Structure 1
Amino acid sequence: MNAVELFVGAGGLGMAVSQAGFKPQLVVDWDQWACDTIRENQKAGLEPFVSWPLIQGDVRQVNFSEISGSIDIVTGGPPCQPFSMGGRHRAYLDDRDMFPQAIRAVRELRPRAFVFENVKGLTRASFANYLEYIRLQLRHPEVKAKSKETWHEHLDRLEDYETRGKYRGLQYNVVMRVLNAANYGVPQKRERVLIVGFRADTGVEWHFPDHTHSHDALLWSQWRTEEYWDRHKVSRRSRPNDAKGKARAMRLREQPVESPWLTVRDAIADLPDPELHPLLAAARFSDHRFQPGARSYPGHTGSPLDEPAKTLKAGVHGVPGGENMLRRTDGSVRYFTVRESARLQTFPDEMIFHGSWSETMRQLGNAVPTRLAHVVVQKVRDRLTGTV
């Protein structure tokens, strides 16, 4: 089954597509650093990167007609800065908005399915009309904007077409939902909006995967059975003072059926502390070096060790101050290393990242966790192949 991956970045979604059994026919991104990261891993022979037909360039210049054969899925994360909670919120006025190119790819490639992901900020009330505009364009990709037609005028015409109920040509059934990565086994509370569509003639019925992990299950393992602390060999005096979490755990009538949320400690417990043991950390793991300068201030206090990490962020000009930090149980803070951040994004330890700490953290902060992406893409593939 063939795939096209747009806006691949560091490859979080792209890896999931390959792991689900799709064969990329085109992988594209304009960012040199992200492409260098992929090329470094190709040179190292790391799967699935070695087989990716990578193109570094502007997707607006890509001629999709040059791709031979049918495409089963188009995936990608159109640049999210126009919609990010930490960005400038310009949306359709922002020339970094690449959703028009994602829609063009669907229109020209006619895939059986597509999966696009973006930041939760896309669902803000101020962007509601534009999100509906995106959805209707993906549903009816051949109803193109006319010359000099504003997006509002185009939206009106799409709404007329949608409500008329008589469709011609290419049509997709589209669903979207905000998913919290922590609910799917990612050690990070990271919310992303996923947009999934199936070509109408496939007849596929589909819904987003059910949660596999929960906060209540984590609290149960910490404060009811204490299995979490025993597994990590954390003494009673070293455990955090979480009165609210204890109280919630004690109110639970029975053990949750889901698996516990994974925590920062779960993700990095086997990594030497790069501040306390810098030589050991650097010798045993690549990209695991202490980065000085972390400081805590109101609203930016770091990620507690025994909870899923807060959302890793990229920032417009590198890592924003006070973000992407670990907060130890004694209250001290330090920046996450690149390797720790990759763990929090469920990237493989063998993966190499190209660029400075700040640049690499930007790549990671823009990525979708591979584990979350795989859960969604695998279910899409299963429905396309009729295996479920």
Structure 2
Amino acid sequence: MRKVLNRLSARSNARKSLELFAGAGGLGIGLASAGFVPQLVVEHDKWCCDTLRDNHGALCGEQKGDELPWRVVQDDVRQVSFVQYEGKIDLVSGGPPCQPFSLGGQHRAFDDARDMFPQAIRAVRETRPRAFIFENVKGLTRSAFLPYFEYVKLQLEHPGMTSKPSESWQEHLRRLEQHHTSTHRPDLHYQVVTKLLNSANYGVPQRRERVIFVGFRDDVDARWSFAQGDNTQEALVWDQLFGTYWDRHRVAKSARVLEGRALQLSRRLSRDEKPSSSPWRTTRDAICNLSEPAKSETSSSILNHRYQPNARIYPGHTGSYIDEPSKTLKAGVHGVPGGENMLRRADGSVRYFTVREAARIQTFPDAYKFHGAWSECMRQLGNAVPAELARLVGKSVAARLDDSELA
């Protein structure tokens, strides 16, 4: 009984959050691990909601272990009001749909109806959280999008300053710039930092670059910064040249292959100059203790670990070399359904990643069950934030919120 009371006390003191555009839950899992308890999880896609409910017990209100069930709402976020959470939320988080800015998309940005940043900003305006975390694809920082990137950032800094009827985004941007440089700013205001992060530098076995927007309300003395990750390619190549990488994975000498930049780095590294950083984690590191995929789900003892046939290499899509971090997993919405979601061995042979292997690459827990066909599950994973990266960002934000309360 005492343990139960302690858990309930900890939950009551936990930091409360809202999760928007939740997808399969990568960002939410990481933030929950950092101590944020979602009060509401909004996602419009049926398969994603099935995945979220099955893993977080919100469908029937069941409780799994020490976790509270997530309240998952399947709806268009534009139809959801957040005013009832005003003043009750520590963090708003989410990944607004990225197609308008994706390097694989049509790059329509502010002319694209799929741009959901206005809804993310509305959620901040209505709830007035102490902090927020939003993420998006690297394409948002392309030079063609920089004016809109600055527009998004200024809206997040001044979420109460909404656009006027019939006002263009450029006109709204000018008003925001004037307001931002004014000495009189009585309305809701956030200090915002943006960072471009490579997941591989933070212990994720995937070269996945994401832009994060982290904001703290003006009354929070956060003094926040997010350090560069401790993992590097130099340390990985050194381990492959002079360390134990190949031996601990029992890789035959004929299969010990370095490619691309790794091969270039190998010519400059010395046994006597071991990097102080930790090695990048590779695809082999992530999946080494998984058996070969089963031909059917029923014949596999591992969840979501079924063989997907017909993988092939074609120009621009050669899969992920097993002894490097994987390439960015793709959602398959740009005319290349799963074309990069392949494992490539040293001999050049390829096969598709199983859903479980892709989940390992995205640092989801092994017990996490994905709903839908292989292509649907890969879409969920291709759109996800690596859970470990989300945990590290969330942990740093939570620490600054704690420090600000003690100041």
TM-score by length of 2: 0.90
Q: Residues of 2 paired with 1:47 and 1:146: CA distance?
A: 48
User: Structure 1 residue aligned with 2:289, among 262, 270, 286?
Assistant: 270
CA root-mean-square deviation: 2.1
User: Structure 2 residue aligned with 1:25, among 29, 33, 39?
Assistant: 39
Count of aligned residue pairs for this structure pair: 385
Counterpart in the other structure of 1:377: 394
Paired letter, 1:258: S
Q: Residues of 1 paired with 2:302 and 2:66: CA distance?
A: 21
- Equivalent residue runs for 1:105-184 within 5 Å: 105-184=123-202
Q: Is the Cα contact below 8 Å between 1:272 and 1:281 reproduced in 2? A: no
**Tell me, which stretches of 5 or more residues in structure 1 are unaligned?**
none
Q: Is the Cα contact below 8 Å between 2:311 and 2:351 reproduced in 1? A: yes
TM superposition shift of 1:322: 2.6
How has the CA–CA distance of structure 1 residues 134 and 48 changed in structure 2, closer, same or farther, with 3 Å as cutoff? Answer: farther
Q: Residues of 1 paired with 2:27 and 2:260: CA distance?
A: 38
**2:301 aligned with 1:284:** yes
Q: Is the Cα contact below 8 Å between 1:224 and 1:249 reproduced in 2? A: no
Q: Is the Cα contact below 8 Å between 2:332 and 2:339 reproduced in 1? A: no
How has the CA–CA distance of structure 1 residues 68 and 199 changed in structure 2, closer, same or farther, with 3 Å as cutoff? Answer: closer
SS in 2 for 1:5: strand
**Tell me, which stretches of 5 or more residues in structure 2 are unaligned?**
1-14
Q: Residues of 2 paired with 1:153 and 1:33: CA distance?
A: 39
Give identity over the alignment, percent: 57
- Equivalent residue runs for 1:252-271 within 5 Å: 252=269, 254-271=273-290
User: Structure 2 residue aligned with 1:90, among 103, 108, 111?
Assistant: 108
Counterpart in the other structure of 1:41: 55
- Deviating 4+ runs (over 4 angstroms): 43-50, 241-244, 279-282
Q: Is the Cα contact below 8 Å between 1:139 and 1:174 reproduced in 2? A: yes
User: Structure 1 residue aligned with 2:342, among 313, 325, 329?
Assistant: 325
Q: Is the Cα contact below 8 Å between 2:82 and 2:127 reproduced in 1? A: yes
TM superposition shift of 1:256: 1.3
Q: Is the Cα contact below 8 Å between 2:230 and 2:278 reproduced in 1? A: yes
SS in 2 for 1:375: helix
TM superposition shift of 1:67: 2.8
Q: Residues of 2 paired with 1:35 and 1:279: CA distance?
A: 24
TM-score by length of 1: 0.94
Q: Is the Cα contact below 8 Å between 1:261 and 1:308 reproduced in 2? A: yes
Q: Is the Cα contact below 8 Å between 2:86 and 2:127 reproduced in 1? A: no
Counterpart in the other structure of 1:353: 370
Q: Show CA shifts across 1:83-117 (max 9, x none).
A: 11111211111111110000011111111100000
Counterpart in the other structure of 1:5: 19
How has the CA–CA distance of structure 1 residues 364 and 47 changed in structure 2, closer, same or farther, with 3 Å as cutoff? Answer: farther
Q: Residues of 2 paired with 1:169 and 1:366: CA distance?
A: 34
